[in-house]
Structure 1
């Protein structure tokens, strides 16, 4: 009897130890700025250790066929982006948003990442988009997250908190690089307002921002080490405190003009793809050392 109790106790400790309980991380490569043919892009993504891609949903039927075939060929998953069209009237944008969500849901992606609302609209107007997304997510079982992004309802920390209070089911994709530049400071993990938002995060866009811009010129440069560490600390905290068994991360360093260039020649001063692979490896290393 004692032996059986000892065995069960050991099994309990094993199953619920931090190492065993640690989430699986799935990494997605952005196709932002991609100039490769779709198959070449997907092959390179797979070869560099990604689990999938994040891309805007292709409404062109031929592009859909090529994407679906390529994802199957390279055994890659997909997160789709959807957005509020701020060039339309409010009513038109709201209707189109709902239509686009239904098209994307039919693909059964891993997640849908939404660029939601507009910084020109009221909290109530922006909340209408979130209500539509929440309803679609519950009906379909597809997680829909709303990205913290300049130009959207979530462009500042206080306004995002205000929306959380109005929309209790709101789930977020944290791209904290936007808030770094909006608030003109490197926001640390211990920030009191940020701490209230972190439990709402279900997806991360891993890009390193700073007080004067949404993207450092090269995340491998030693002058950005402290800023990089700040971001890694925040991401690690989110993942470790998440209840999700699988946590998704998209590496999202962007192309020029997000990526600075040499004046006159417009040559990028760093490699976008290498920056994204570097950040993926940095996150993996952080968790390998836990």
Structure 2
């Protein structure tokens, strides 16, 4: 049976469109930044990133410098927000809402939240999630809730309970935290991880291990298994999002500075290079996913 030429053209066009729209957006963390916003953004762009992820600066001068640097170097931005754990619940919730309202007005790609407190009740933590989700819906700015020690999402079982209860809860997965919390690479937890993967819309790409949230150097051969485990999980998330939508998947490389990055005693000289580690992870993910487009 001959296929009409118009159908062939249409099929080819749709296939090409689907492949073109399987995109990744990489963001560089400004955690530990010691240079100006302009210098940082210039270096970030040159390394191949699409944007930066940062807490919105408190000082007007820094706010303007960030805005100018992003525009000058053609970078996008994801802002961070969080629950203030130093004040009472009511005050913290009010400040959380006020901060999110300010951030959505800035029209970022998304907002990533350190949400809740591992000492708050389920209902108290849900109040933060519900408030953020309401703002996200009204503003059309995605707000994601990061899996993080000290927050509602500090471990896998607790997070799954929130996912079962809050249908519109969308996660930023930083699984490096869970590796140390559960003292494993979670190899035996594929079923519990499935729901998390299904609800993850942003990735914090840092490699953890059973004794800590950050390996010293992801290129070192002794961390091969940990690196592969993280890449495998990230690949599942990206493939899931690509199957569901033509929206680009956002990833922030988030290896931190000393002393999150291990350092030598007394001198506090870091044992590896933070920037190099982040760029390595970005390139490793680009290479891994190139064959899946």
Instruction: Quickly name the TM-score band, shorter chain normalised.
Output: over 0.9
The residue number in structure 1 matching 2:193 is 194
1:140 maps to 2:135: no
SS at match of 2:201: strand
Please give the per-residue CA displacement for 1:93-129, whole angstroms capped at 9, x wherever unaligned.
0000000001101100000000000000011000000
The answer to whether the 8 A contact 1:77-1:109 is kept is yes
TM alignment of 1:160-175, pairs within 5 A: 160-175=159-174
1:261 maps to 2:266: no
Query: Alpha-carbon deviation of 1:267?
Result: 0.4
The answer to whether the 8 A contact 1:114-1:145 is kept is yes
Please give the per-residue CA displacement for 1:126-184, whole angstroms capped at 9, x wherever unaligned.
00001100100000000000000000000010100111122110000000000000000
TM alignment of 1:226-237, pairs within 5 A: 226-237=225-236
TM alignment of 1:73-88, pairs within 5 A: 73-88=72-87
Shift in CA distance, 283/134, structure 1 to aligned 2, threshold 3 Å: same
1:249 maps to 2:248: no
SS at match of 1:192: helix
Shift in CA distance, 33/126, structure 1 to aligned 2, threshold 3 Å: same
The residue number in structure 1 matching 2:154 is 155
TM-score (ref. length: structure 1):
0.95
Q: Which of 260, 266, 271 is the equivalent residue of 2:273? A: 271
SS at match of 1:241: helix
Moved over 3 A (4+): 16-19
The answer to whether the 8 A contact 1:146-1:172 is kept is yes
TM-score (ref. length: structure 2):
0.94
SS at match of 2:271: coil
Shift in CA distance, 93/22, structure 1 to aligned 2, threshold 3 Å: same
- What is the root-mean-square deviation of aligned Cα atoms in Å? 1.8
The answer to whether the 8 A contact 2:147-2:174 is kept is yes
Structure 1: tracts of 5 or more residues without a match: none
The residue number in structure 2 matching 1:118 is 117
SS at match of 2:112: strand
The answer to whether the 8 A contact 1:189-1:230 is kept is no
Distance in 1 (CA, whole Å) between partners of 2:227 and 2:12 is 34
SS at match of 1:259: coil
Distance in 1 (CA, whole Å) between partners of 2:36 and 2:30 is 11
Please give the per-residue CA displacement for 1:3-41, whole angstroms capped at 9, x wherever unaligned.
5x2541463265247971662100000000111111111
